[in-house]
Amino acid sequence: MFAYTSQPPAPAGVRDSELLAAFAAGTVIPVGNTPGSIVLTPDAAHAYVGNRGSDTVSVIDTATDTVTDTIPTGAGLGGVAISPDGTRVYATAAGDGLVNVIDTATNTIVTDIPVGAGATLVAFTPDGTRAYVTLQTTNLVSVVDTATNTVTGTVTVGTGPTGVVVTPDGTRAYVASFSGSVSAIDTATNTVIATIVAGDVPILLAVSSDGARVYVTNAGSSSVSVIDTATNTVTDTIGVSAMPRFLALSPDGSHLYVANSGPDTVGVIDTATRTVVENIGVGDGPLGIAVFPDGTRAYVSDSNAGTVEVMATTVIPDQGPTAGGTTVTLTGHHLANATAAHFGTAQAVITANTATSVTVTAPAGSGAVPVTVTTPGGTGTLGSFFYVPAPALTGISPAAGPVSGSDQAIVITGHNLAGAIDVFFGTTRAVIQSVSDTQITVRAGGAPAPGGVAVTVITSGGSADGLTYTYVGQSTVTNVSPGTGPTSGGTGVTITGTGLSHTEQVTFHGVPAPFAVISDTTVTASSPPSATEGTFDVTVTGPGGTSSGAFTYVSGPGI
């Protein structure tokens, strides 16, 4: 059926088909020191940003992307949350053990609520009658009656509770604790009804609009756990980049945005396939993220820069291989009955269409191209798409590490590596720490067994391999021969054992000795001088750890 459209398609929030220059450029808004959590008012007219380093809350006018007010808070600001009716912002002050209640009409603190030491984050019930406040230095959650602004009870959860969300129907609150668990609280009785084992150091959460899933960032394992709220079990774990922090869903729930503080990216997860489809480069130290209700942009707090960045979300993902084939969601207004979508001059295949979104398959192309949508109302530009060349790998250092995994930085070099999505050593995911176009720094996870494995790098432009990383088991030293030599040093010694081919150092009583690797079972070394006689350890160090034998120093004959 033909439907008349009086306006051409446009990114939501902009007039007609014009894309505001500031929006297109990615506006950067200076706020306070170390900004963290961000909340939007229900009408999205203002954003409140908690600045942990300056104990202030910045108020942003979202129409102009400017700070219009700065509100001092109590000591140790943790996070901010806004009541469902938008009249109050609760800001936690961990140092004071308070929640500061801010009137959004006057942007002043109207009362303080003593909630307990370590107040960290807050979540309101959908009706706004209660707020749940995590106390990170304890194992408690305080329950606040918002009519009286008093604590009516506490709930015991795991150690180090941090993140908290309440399901859309208000029946459950979920709390992530450093100790490794997520507690499900029945809000009718304020009792824990399930303790869910998540990843390593779960910290923050987001809940889907239907309440069916809770997403949890795990800071220790650099992953996102997916919890089925019907069974209160983890149904999937999605690997992301280093130091994942706050996360937020797109309004339609199709994408989950995760702030990766380590490599300064926002990871974009397709919630249907539960895979990362893009890593978007942002400012220094992203922590908080808030997606606008129209789905066309998000605010990202860059903690180390003291800014909030405007991130376009009208074209997601906004990069893909030159061969095309990427599934892309275009978000805006007046998109119903779209007749065509173009990436530059090439036409994309439309696979789904609503009044606010068009799903397409990207055509082949190259470089950066405008993305346009045509409807009966005209043609509008929604953003840009970047065609990314396939990556290529040239080197890796170090090329070996312990089979148990390591926190050692491993540097992979090559070309077209920017925006790397994943790195694998065999079947083991390596956690991305930082990325440039020519270099990726990762940390290796553990492997099932020692041995060489292929290194694979996945970017929006494709995948590359051709390098090998070797997982090394614990070496052993079975013999040191000869086992005796003069204190003057210089004794040629043969060290035998297993797993010696990756030896990095040999020491006699802690003193480095010159050595040569002969084979996996043999290393030769020359004993260094010793100031004293005695039997001391001969220690062989490699990627898999250390192992030791013994060598006895004796003095030469004298008068």
**SS3 state of residue 22:** helix
CA distance 419 to 432: 10
Q: Please enumerate in sequence order all residues whose Cβ is within 8 A of that of 271, keeping only pairs 6 or more positions apart, or say none.
A: 208, 213, 249, 253, 254, 255, 256
Q: Which CATH number fits domain 476-554: 1.10.3720.10, 2.60.40.10, 2.60.34.10, 3.60.15.10?
A: 2.60.40.10
pLDDT over threshold 60, residue 202: yes
* pLDDT in the model for residue 363: 98
* pLDDT in the model for residue 2: 21
Q: Residue with structure tokens 């806004």?
A: 82
Give the residue from 366, 374, 285, 234 showing the smallest Cα distance to 34: 285
Mean per-residue pLDDT, 417-425: 95
Q: Please enumerate in sequence order all residues whose Cβ is within 8 A of that of 367, keeping only pairs 6 or more positions apart, or say none.
A: 386, 387
The CATH fold of domain 47-247 = Methylamine Dehydrogenase; Chain H (2.130.10)
**SS3 state of residue 25:** helix
pLDDT, tens digit, for every residue of 507-524?
999 999 999 999 999 999
CA distance 372 to 21: 17
In this predicted structure, which of 18-32, 54-68, 378-392 has the lowest mean pLDDT? 18-32
Mean per-residue pLDDT, 62-85: 96
Domains 314-385 and 392-472 share a fold: yes
Sequence spans of domains, the chain: 23-46+248-312, 47-247, 314-385, 392-472, 476-554
pLDDT over threshold 50, residue 24: no
Mean per-residue pLDDT, 207-231: 97
pLDDT, tens digit, for every residue of 522-549?
999 999 999 999 999 999 999 888 999 9
CA distance 148 to 71: 23
In this predicted structure, which of 11-20, 25-34, 49-58, 209-218 has the lowest mean pLDDT? 11-20
How far from 206 is each of 45, 175, 197, 212, 423, CA to CA, in Å? 22, 11, 17, 11, 26
Q: What is the pTM of this model?
A: 0.89
- Number of neighbouring beta carbons within 10 Å of residue 210: 11
* pLDDT in the model for residue 406: 85
- Number of neighbouring beta carbons within 10 Å of residue 449: 9
- Beta carbons of 9 and 17 less than 8 angstroms apart: yes
Interstrand relation of 476-481 and 410-415 (parallel, antiparallel or unpaired)? unpaired
Sheet holding 98-103, edge to edge: 77-82, 88-93, 98-103, 108-114
Q: How confident is the model at residue 12 (pLDDT cuts 50, 70, 90)?
A: very low
* pLDDT in the model for residue 558: 66
Amino acid at 502: H
Tell me what percent of the residues of the chain surpass a pLDDT of 70. Answer: 95
pLDDT, tens digit, for every residue of 285-334?
999 999 999 999 999 999 999 999 999 999 999 999 999 999 999 999 99
CA 210 to chain centroid: 24
In this predicted structure, which of 15-29, 159-173, 239-253, 442-456 has the lowest mean pLDDT? 15-29
Tell me what percent of the residues of the chain surpass a pLDDT of 90. Answer: 91
Domain 314-385 classified CATH 1.10.1040.10? no
Asked whether the bond before 448 is cis by omega within 30 degrees of 0, the reply is no
**SS3 state of residue 531:** coil
Domain 392-472 classified CATH 1.10.600.10? no
CA distance 164 to 170: 13
- Beta carbons of 358 and 341 less than 8 angstroms apart: yes
* pLDDT in the model for residue 17: 29
pLDDT, tens digit, for every residue of 75-130?
999 999 999 999 999 999 999 999 999 999 999 999 999 999 999 999 999 999 99
